[in-house]
Structure 1
Amino acid sequence: MDGPVERARAAVLGRLWSALRREPLDFVVGVRVAGGTAELTLRDGRVLRGPAPAPFGPHPPGLAVTLTGPATTDRAIAADHAAGADRTGAPDRTTGPNRLDGPNRSDRTDASGGGAVLDDPAALVRELPVAGRERFAEELGDSVANLALAYAEAPPPPTLGALAAMPAADAAVLGEQLVVAGHPLHPGCRTRLGMSAAEVRAYAPEHRPVVPVRWWAVPAGRWWSPAGLPPLLPVHPWQEAHVLGRYGGLLSPTDRVTAARPLMSLRTVAADGRTHLKLAVDVQMTSAVRRVSAAAVHNGPLLSGLVAGLAPAGFGVLAEDAGGAVCVGGEPVPALAVLRRAAPVGPAGSVVLPLAALSADGAPGRPPLAVQAARAAYGGDPVAFLRALLRVLLPPLAALLRAGVALEAHGQNTLVVLAAGRPVGLRYRDFGGVRVSAARLAAAGVAAPPLRGAVPCDDPAVLRTTVAAAAGVVVGELVAVLGRAGAEPGRCWAAVGGELAAAFAGADRAALLAAPVPVKATTAMRLAGDPLAERWAAMPYGWEGP
């Protein structure tokens, strides 16, 4: 059966299975791939077997892995399982009306009697000999539930031609909402711990709702805004219902309510055709609870000006011109904060899309937008489209890296401007993952602004990793999607290598071409004692399979 539940389980399980093969996990002590089958030996002696995992799918319904061998005797793991350690306290999403897929399960046996057949990612995680498994299993159960809901109810995507014919503001929002399945490698691609199914329907972009955002008056002595926003805080309705009451009537409601539409991140909303609002929502989405830090409020306007001043023609910055936060005890509260950002605008007749939207699933019989663009502008040659996109994407990243700014250009925060299917420009937003080298800026004759947090960084390896990791995922997913549409992967990767060599120079070029692509090891991170500490996996360019 290929229903929404089966599709969601397979999509999340495929991401998890690929990560178990690829990422640095100390409980996986052996990996063997032969004849299209992967075999992973766990540290307790048991063995997982399944199809050799490709990093970007496809993961068809019916995907399962087989677990053989004796049950673990690790007392620490058994104690963790019994105590339910690391649970987040989120609503139960395993049964009842909040779910489509019923309880997590591990209830099939291989017909040959050779072990348990696991088709549910949460069930697989609960078998892993690692202490963080209960927390991660809960996250993946939630991811499956929300993705199944999206597959069951999300409206079909428009064509590229239909987007181009819409009013620009509507097309820009709808383009954000096409990415139904979320992050292409993270098994928690649709984790939203703390939201009920009704709240997901009401606020998640794939359901295309209108979200009423009320503005709250803040006492002047309680408001902090380095760029001078007036003391009015727009509050997401989920935050209003679940968090605002903790602050004891500190804020006063106004009659101002903005009919906003959620963008890819859910918590950033389009207030109108000119303004986006990045709101705090105390919900774990993928890996992190989504608040707005004081560093982000401080850095946003400074980084907007810095990047805009260094960027080449055709590269537009969606400026964060101001932000603000409520203060308690003299300190800004990340749960009561906002950033104001410019909405993307392209030339007349163009479409502005997040890079991730190019690879998003199409409707039955309707290919992804990248394939549609190749047909519209390049005679159906997907490699020509890929090369054109890389020529728009890579030179600005290289120029900014040379000058001292390493952009985290991933599929959500980097947008491409398409004119009749042709990439003609980029737009960049959200500076949380940016790294800035004062030394490189000084060499370029630019003074580094007074940035806070992890943004300042002079380590060239970190700067290069920031650029390569995000762009590598975007390019890898796009190559996989174009390959399923008939493109020869070898031609695609040859184009990638050629454009990398042309865009970057000197030590940056040598390092990027010599090293494997760094990819954030999201599964290893979620299973670690500190699930937010960065860990990395590596994939060589051209990596198409196990």
Structure 2
Amino acid sequence: MYFPASPAEEAFAAELAAVRPALESAYRAALDGARAAVLTRLWRALAFEPLPWVVGRERGSAGLAVLLADGGRLEGPPPDAYATDAYAAELLLDGRPYRQAARLVAALGVPHGEDFAAELDGSTASLALSRAGQPPAGRDVAARTTWQWEQRVVDGHPYHPNCRSRPGFSVAEQLAYAPEHRPVVDLGLVSVRAEECLVTGDWPAELRDAGRILVPVHPWQAAHTLKHERVRDGFAAHPLMALRTLAPIEGGAHVKTALSTRLTSSVRDISGYSVETATAVSDFAQALSERLDGRLHITRTLGAATAHSPDLAAVLREPPEVYADAAAGERVLPVAALASLPQARSAAWRAGFARLALSVCLRVLELGVALEAHGQNLLVVLSATGAPLRLVYRDLADIRISPARLVRHGLPVPPLSGRLITDDVTVLRRKLFGSLLTGALGATAGSAGAFADAFAVAAGLPATADSEALLAGGLPTKALTLMRLSPGVPGDQWAELPNPLAGG
């Protein structure tokens, strides 16, 4: 059966023909795989998330049927909550086949589905573009630096249907700024009077000018959001996985910029709260890491500045590679990049890595901090032979801190309030388990069976209330599709996945 190109797929092809014609045929060839990848992510949501218009699910040896409130029936293959391969190439809605997530959502006719369908269409086209831009097998340059490893993460979020949704970005802008296309990005600087800025930490002299603060800005932000600001030339940098965070080519602090568009789920600006709390949270995290016997390093926030606007702000962060001994052959990789590491395909390697990650992150949770340890924030230091040695964590903007747990362990409570602070055990466990287990490490395993094998080591960890909760019942995960279809509901929403560790 013929499945015609969608509006976004055709628009991307037309723009490629104008700006990068040599890439058009590779892009069209990548469309089927990108469609299946996005549809598979959507199928995971339909199979497991508490969507209000799903009234039942019938599981059988041949697959799963999702029963809809309007009497419809959606059928697909047996879902694997931890699979990262594109296995759902086609779903049947009342017997009619769909291979494009956007067209399926449009056919479902669910509330707020029109906007979500447009995002899925863009995600599919962007993913095909990302894959088309990769060098042929055997011709890729060996990754030596952390930023090169980060740029090997081509498919984006392993479970979000909006894995490559970049609304507001043209094809030319994706090629110019997206990390998987390996560009060099020229950051600009906006000069703001110091008295009009909130600055925390040690804002460097090179980003000051005669009583003014020079705020680094992303060129996309300068063109689309800061249209009335005068932007001067800044410095060149390599984009990292987060796209808006970059590593200057001359070295030094990584720069997190505001980027006021929705990537996957969130608008990527920088709140005043994040700037205001940046130094206190960083100092607190450094003191906490000293309790981990060198197994966890937390990158320091060196400085943060905002012109009292989430659209004009920046954070300077210590690069994670300072915690790897290059002379000894060590390197540091984000967990999301482990799929491109040959050793990580070994069950024994995954088990060793699981032991390290679980023991460290559960210990941090016991002490009073829930890390958002997804594949972008959590990094691993590898030996010269590829053995996992210790962890590095970056970006403290969305951790959760429990004063009660800190006090119980004789640790000082940081002078903070607001969303970072909670003693709610459900919130704390969801933050860690939903990022580390059903996010980063689940994706590293790649299937429920491999997950169970690798993380069987959890049974041998010191018994705590948190580790016992990990081995009982379902595992929490963000209900990413439900969240995109619930624009009026603030905050995170959650689903439970089968727990291979508990046989659930």
**Global fold match (TM > 0.5):** yes
Question: Is the Cα contact below 8 Å between 1:215 and 1:235 reproduced in 2?
Answer: yes
Matches within 5 A, 1:217-236: 217-229=191-203, 230=208, 231-236=213-218
Aligned-pair CA distance for 1:543: 8.1
Alpha-carbon distance in 2 for matches of 1:267, 1:504: 39
Matches within 5 A, 1:142-153: 142-153=122-133
Aligned-pair CA distance for 1:270: 0.6
For 1:85, the equivalent position in structure 2 comes to: none
For 1:140, the equivalent position in structure 2 comes to: 120
Alpha-carbon distance in 2 for matches of 1:535, 1:433: 15
Question: Is the Cα contact below 8 Å between 1:279 and 1:338 reproduced in 2?
Answer: yes
Alpha-carbon distance in 2 for matches of 1:523, 1:357: 24
Question: Is the Cα contact below 8 Å between 2:43 and 2:88 reproduced in 1?
Answer: no
Tell me the percent identity: 39
Q: Deviations over 1:350-381 (max 9, x none)?
A: 2211101112xxxxxxxx41xx1157xxxxxx
Question: In structure 1, what residue type is equivalent to 2:42?
Answer: L
SS of residue matched to 1:225: strand
SS of residue matched to 1:468: helix
Aligned-pair CA distance for 1:347: 1.3
Question: Is the Cα contact below 8 Å between 1:388 and 1:423 reproduced in 2?
Answer: yes
Question: In structure 2, what residue type is equivalent to 1:235?
Answer: V
Question: Is the Cα contact below 8 Å between 1:44 and 1:129 reproduced in 2?
Answer: no
Matches within 5 A, 1:287-306: 287-306=265-284
For 1:36, the equivalent position in structure 2 comes to: 62
For 1:424, the equivalent position in structure 2 comes to: 389
Question: Is the Cα contact below 8 Å between 1:10 and 1:59 reproduced in 2?
Answer: no
For 1:240, the equivalent position in structure 2 comes to: 222
> Does residue 372 of structure 2 align to residue 391 of structure 1?
no
Q: Which deviates further from its counterpart, 209-218 or 45-54?
A: 45-54
Q: Deviations over 1:422-446 (max 9, x none)?
A: 0011110011221001111112222
> Does residue 92 of structure 2 align to residue 66 of structure 1?
yes
Question: Is the Cα contact below 8 Å between 1:304 and 1:319 reproduced in 2?
Answer: yes
> Does residue 246 of structure 2 align to residue 265 of structure 1?
no
Q: Deviations over 1:36-75 (max 9, x none)?
A: 321111100011112222234455488111111xxxxxxx
For 1:530, the equivalent position in structure 2 comes to: 488
Matches within 5 A, 1:416-455: 416-419=380-383, 420-455=385-420
Question: Is the Cα contact below 8 Å between 1:436 and 1:456 reproduced in 2?
Answer: yes
For 1:478, the equivalent position in structure 2 comes to: 444
For 1:324, the equivalent position in structure 2 comes to: 305
TM-score, scaled relative to structure 1? 0.80
Question: Is the Cα contact below 8 Å between 1:29 and 1:42 reproduced in 2?
Answer: yes
Question: Is the Cα contact below 8 Å between 2:270 and 2:314 reproduced in 1?
Answer: yes
TM-score, scaled relative to structure 2? 0.86
SS of residue matched to 1:162: coil
SS of residue matched to 2:312: strand
For 1:79, the equivalent position in structure 2 comes to: none
Aligned-pair CA distance for 1:531: 5.7
Change (3 A) 1:161 1:396: farther
Structure 2: gaps of 5 or more residues: 3-27
Alpha-carbon distance in 1 for matches of 2:350, 2:137: 22
Structure 1: gaps of 5 or more residues: 69-114, 327-331, 360-367, 376-381, 484-488
Question: Is the Cα contact below 8 Å between 1:42 and 1:129 reproduced in 2?
Answer: no
Alpha-carbon distance in 1 for matches of 2:503, 2:77: 10
Alpha-carbon distance in 1 for matches of 2:374, 2:88: 30
Alpha-carbon distance in 1 for matches of 2:87, 2:288: 47
Over aligned residues, Cα RMSD in angstroms?
Answer: 2.5
Question: Is the Cα contact below 8 Å between 2:347 and 2:453 reproduced in 1?
Answer: no
Change (3 A) 1:35 1:61: closer
SS of residue matched to 1:334: coil
Alpha-carbon distance in 1 for matches of 2:52, 2:483: 12
Question: Is the Cα contact below 8 Å between 2:76 and 2:88 reproduced in 1?
Answer: no
The count of residues paired between Structure 1 and Structure 2 equals 460
Which consecutive segments of 4 or more residues in structure 1 shift more than 4 A?
A: 58-62, 156-161, 543-546
Aligned-pair CA distance for 1:541: 2.4
Match of 2:190 among 202, 216, 229: 216
